[in-house]
Structure 1
Amino acid sequence: MSTTTPRLPTYFISHGGGPWPWMKDEMGDTYAKLEAALADMPRQIGVRPRAILMVSAHWERMNFTVQAHPQPPMVYDYGGFPPHTYSVRYDAPGDPALAARVQGLLEAAGLPAGLDAERGFDHGMFSPMKAIYPEADVPVVQLSLKKGLDPAEHLALGRVLAPLRGEGVLIIGSGLSYHNLRAFGPVAAAPSRAFDDWLQQAVVNSEPAVRTQQLIAWEQAPAARIAHPREEHLLPLMVAVGAAEAEPGQCVYHENAFMGGLTVSSFRIG
């Protein structure tokens, strides 16, 4: 693998709900700010990635597992949406060689890792990617979370993946900065703002070593368990930070009236 390409940043993105890019008639401008922020990522990066490694909140395995399908199918892992959203396509190619490279990095670091040659793209991948690279012409490989959702383990995963940043691979953690499906709208305004204020302090305004410790202890943050009753949508942040652990963070998307009152954000590291 070439190591002459510029070292790419990493991202933690809020990926929105379900197949939103294919529901503009139904949703109006609800996702306009998020879509604009995602669509701006290629400009921010400045170079075309050779491939994307995507850690989605919507895939968990007992051990870290890498998608190895050369042309992954679609996984419609949502319910209650219009019929047409169960036939949408985002036909980006996979990259089995990158999958093998990721597995090799993990196993060399003592992290058991598997390959899955059948797994398709879930909506944590294809919904934001529709905005980032709408032509679906950049290869994408998904990497699972590990059950147990230990923040330290996922920071360690990011550290192991860091060399890929110099090989033209863009590492994206895809989740949501606030994810409590039972507390949306006005009732979520205060807790989502409190948790987002903590995220801004931890990710953007803290020294790297302090940031790492804060993320490990994220449950101590204000409104932490209101914002994330279960933390699968937060853990992709740990991977993105771990892969650029010594570098500064920047908020690249922020709004405080999303879906009727949520404060939500996305971050770039490096």
Structure 2
Amino acid sequence: MSTRLPTYFLSHGGGPWPYLEGDFRRAFDRLEQSLHDIRRELGNAPRAVLVISGHWEVKGFAISSGAQPGMVYDYSGFPEHTYRIRYEAPGSPELAGRVWTLLSGGSIQARLDPQRGYDHGTFSIMKPLYPEEKMPLVQLSVDPGYDPELHLKLGRLLAPLRDEGVLIIGSGASYHNLREAMGSKGIEPSRVFDTWLQDPC
């Protein structure tokens, strides 16, 4: 593969699914296999991972900058043990600073957050992808205004990281209205939006 790393947008699955067993876990077998395939394709190329998590919204963007981030249990209704799990991968203050520099240089407001822990938009995909929990990891928030131009600009500013050994992952879902997504009401709007999202025009 070339030295330029790919980028990915991944569905993170339901809550803390890698830490569960049974039918709920099995529902994400395809996602888990795709994460194993990504790891195999990347080999040892990444030196760190930047996850833009759909579960972290901050006006003006924020970057996790702690050396040993904690956990954010941003889900409900799961077994008690899933509120005690730990994903122990180190943070990277160095990478956080680099992200801040790139965004600030492009006139995008951002701040470093040394207290932010890993939310399930991050640890749910990182656990199968890097189960050794040794890959340095930084999270970046999304802006709650969801301005497409602002986020596209952010993506362009982050692009140099791909040549610096940083794997960039967008984590979320193309349709995330949980009040509707869990039932039949969300099927049609989800299909329409996903079709639009994949339209090359």
Alignment of 1:1-270 (within 5 A): 6-25=3-22, 27-183=24-180, 184-201=182-199, 206=200, 210=201
- Give the secondary structure class of the aligned counterpart of 1:156: helix
Letter paired with 1:119: R
Q: TM-score, normalised by structure 2?
A: 0.92
Q: Would the alpha carbon gap of residues 80 and 143 (structure 1) be closer, same or farther in structure 2, given more than 3 Å must change?
A: same
Q: C-alpha separation between the residues in 1 aligned to 2:30 and 2:183?
A: 17
List alignment gaps of at least 5 residues for structure 1: 211-270
Q: C-alpha separation between the residues in 1 aligned to 2:191 and 2:146?
A: 24
Q: C-alpha separation between the residues in 2 aligned to 1:194 and 1:173?
A: 21
Q: Larger relative CO (CA 8 A, sep 6+): 1 or 2?
A: 2
Q: TM-score, normalised by structure 1?
A: 0.70
Letter paired with 1:193: R
Q: C-alpha separation between the residues in 2 aligned to 1:145 and 1:194?
A: 23
- Give the secondary structure class of the aligned counterpart of 2:22: helix
- Give the secondary structure class of the aligned counterpart of 1:182: helix
Q: Would the alpha carbon gap of residues 185 and 157 (structure 1) be closer, same or farther in structure 2, given more than 3 Å must change?
A: same
List alignment gaps of at least 5 residues for structure 2: none
Letter paired with 1:52: V
Q: CA deviation at 1:137?
A: 1.5
Alignment check: 8 A CA contact 1:42 1:48 kept? no
Task: Kindly report structure 1 stretches of 4+ aligned residues shifted beyond 6 Å.
Answer: none
Alignment check: 8 A CA contact 1:51 1:138 kept? yes
Kindly report the root-mean-square deviation, in angstroms, between the aligned alpha carbons of the 2 structures.
Answer: 1.6
Alignment check: 8 A CA contact 2:18 2:25 kept? no
- Give the secondary structure class of the aligned counterpart of 1:17: coil
